Structure 1
Amino acid sequence: MKKVKFILMALVAVIAFSSCERVAPNYAGVLMENYGKDGKSDFKVVSGKVSTIEWGTELFQVPLFDQRGEFAEPVTLKAADNTEFKAKPTYSYKVIKERAIDVVFDNKHIDKAETESGKDGFMQSLEDNILEPRIYDLIKEESRKHTTDSLMANGGSLTFEKRLEQIVESEFEKRGLRLLTFSAQLEFSAKVRDKIDSRNEVNTNITVLDQQIAEQKKRNELEQLKTEQALIRSRGLTKEILQQQFIDKWDGKSPIYSSPIDFVKVTK
């Protein structure tokens, strides 16, 4: 009888020991009790060794270090002018420690099994099922507000990514996450790039022609001003003025062969 009792006690000890989990360093332990039936009141932050032997009890370990994610495949988007292009977003983020319960409570239904790559299963599932679908919706909506020309212009894609980063950052914050970096990595087809390059070349040529036309107009205006100035001077040249100019320039010695000026006749 004692032997049976000892075995039972040992069995209970083994079960109790196996039903304990230890919160890993740099992780936030969130313990769910009562199957979470009473909402967030059934969730609490724990540390160290935690017992999960009771029914409806489950320990979630939320990593507090940086997480990196990227879309496995590029997503197809459309600009405002209906041109298709692709994006393959990459991002990094971390869980806000004070919001660990929110992260677990909102996403407790997702699979938290360890992935083959070794990444925490809960976070990987969060990215695959929650974050990336939401990012896709946001980038799809934002892309419709920009034309292909504006996206491919100097600084255009950077402006687009900065705006998108702000939107994604706000979305992550609502979910208890802090966005650290974000890049949309836009990709345009060769056909679209050639089309834009050709259009840019035409626009450049037009700009050069406009500058040449403007320059020629200024030259014409200058010539017109010179002509008008010459006319004004010619109208002011009276006989007396011509005689005075002749006197000023003649040295009194050089022979004069002919002159229509009356003054010359007088001097003879």
Structure 2
Amino acid sequence: MKRRIDFLVMALFAVLLLTSCERVAPNYAGVLMENFGKQGKEDFKVVSGKVSTWEWGTELFQVPLFDQRGEFADPVTLKAADNTEFNARPAYSYKVIKDKAVDVVFDNKHIDKADTESGKDGFMQSLEDNILEPRIYDLIKEESRKHKTDSLMADGGSLLFEKRLELIVDKEFEKRGLQLLTFSAQLEFSKAVREKIDSRNEVNTNISVLDQQISEQRKRNELEQLKTEQALITSRGLTREILYKQFIDKWDGKTPLYGIAPEFLKITE
């Protein structure tokens, strides 16, 4: 009877050991936490292959080393510097820096693993929902207050905004042991805002055309004034004799001279 009990205990212990082992999946970094992580980062280490997790306070985190993609489920409302509201639906992709896998787990072990049907690891999904996306929202909200609506809607304006924001998010991800691969803010403006900006752009265009016309007319006036001054200067240098000589050179000797004849004949005599 005792042998039977011993056998059952050993069998139960063996089953417990087998069921308390996990295998690190390919292209994942296994990070094992021991002793509930009470000693800080010392209780975390990178593991591979089959890992025993039967001891109390032991947990295996499997960190994917391949590209991860995230997108805000709902648009976020932002305000520009001129207090105009607009929406954004940020989308991004990233991956864990392999050498930073322990840091990623240690810094975020407190978040609850999410139940996900998308196939994404629960730890990574929770990381996005609880850490990354709230931080992205704070950054994009802060940056949007530095730009006016018309500059955001101008040609290339939203692209410049996204590029600037991408650099900010990239630094934030790097601090968290992540490499940002792509980022897009996907700005959306309401119809009323678009119509308001279009109307303002039309007015600005008309003003620009008028300014150009005024500038051109001013140049024409200056040119006419220069021509007048040049004619005066030229006329002051001409004597009556020079004028009549020029007249004689061009007169064919046959064309009637009419009113100018007496004066002309008086000089030629």
| Stretch deviating more after TM superposition (96-105 or 257-266) | 257-266
Structure 2 CA distance for partners of 1:123 and 1:237, relative to 1, 3 Å? same
| 2-structure distance, mates of 1:147, 1:263 | 77
Residue number in structure 2 paired with 1:199: 200
| 2-structure distance, mates of 1:258, 1:77 | 86
Q: Does structure 2 conserve the Cα–Cα contact (< 8 Å) formed by 1:243 and 1:261?
A: no
Residue number in structure 1 paired with 2:77: 76
| 1-structure distance, mates of 2:257, 2:139 | 95
| 2-structure distance, mates of 1:4, 1:113 | 41
- Residue-by-residue CA offset, 1:74-111 (whole Å, 9 max, x unaligned): 01111111111111100000000000000000111112
Aligned Cα root-mean-square deviation (Å): 1.6
Secondary structure in 1 matching 2:55? coil
Residue number in structure 1 paired with 2:48: 47
Q: Which runs of 4+ in 1 moved over 3 A?
A: 251-258, 260-263, 265-268
The AA in structure 1 aligned to 2:159 is L
Q: Does 1:180 align with 2:190?
A: no
Q: Does 1:17 align with 2:18?
A: yes
Q: Does structure 1 conserve the Cα–Cα contact (< 8 Å) formed by 2:140 and 2:165?
A: yes
Residue number in structure 1 paired with 2:225: 224
TM-score for the superposition, normalised by structure 2: 0.94
The share of aligned pairs that are identical, in percent, is: 81
Q: Does structure 1 conserve the Cα–Cα contact (< 8 Å) formed by 2:32 and 2:44?
A: yes
Q: Does structure 1 conserve the Cα–Cα contact (< 8 Å) formed by 2:114 and 2:125?
A: no
Residue correspondence of structure 1 range 159-170 to structure 2 within 5 A: 159-170=160-171
The AA in structure 1 aligned to 2:217 is Q
Structure 2 CA distance for partners of 1:34 and 1:180, relative to 1, 3 Å? same
Q: Does structure 2 conserve the Cα–Cα contact (< 8 Å) formed by 1:31 and 1:58?
A: yes
- Residue-by-residue CA offset, 1:116-142 (whole Å, 9 max, x unaligned): 222110000000001000111111111
| 2-structure distance, mates of 1:78, 1:145 | 10
| Stretch deviating more after TM superposition (142-151 or 113-122) | 113-122
The AA in structure 2 aligned to 1:160 is F
| 2-structure distance, mates of 1:182, 1:243 | 84
Q: Does structure 2 conserve the Cα–Cα contact (< 8 Å) formed by 1:114 and 1:121?
A: yes
How far has the Cα of 1:264 moved from its partner?
A: 2.2
Q: Does 1:236 align with 2:237?
A: yes
Residue number in structure 2 paired with 1:56: 57
Which blocks of at least 5 consecutive residues in structure 1 are unaligned? none
| 2-structure distance, mates of 1:255, 1:78 | 85
The AA in structure 2 aligned to 1:186 is L
The AA in structure 1 aligned to 2:246 is Q
Residue number in structure 1 paired with 2:138: 137
Q: Does structure 1 conserve the Cα–Cα contact (< 8 Å) formed by 2:68 and 2:94?
A: yes
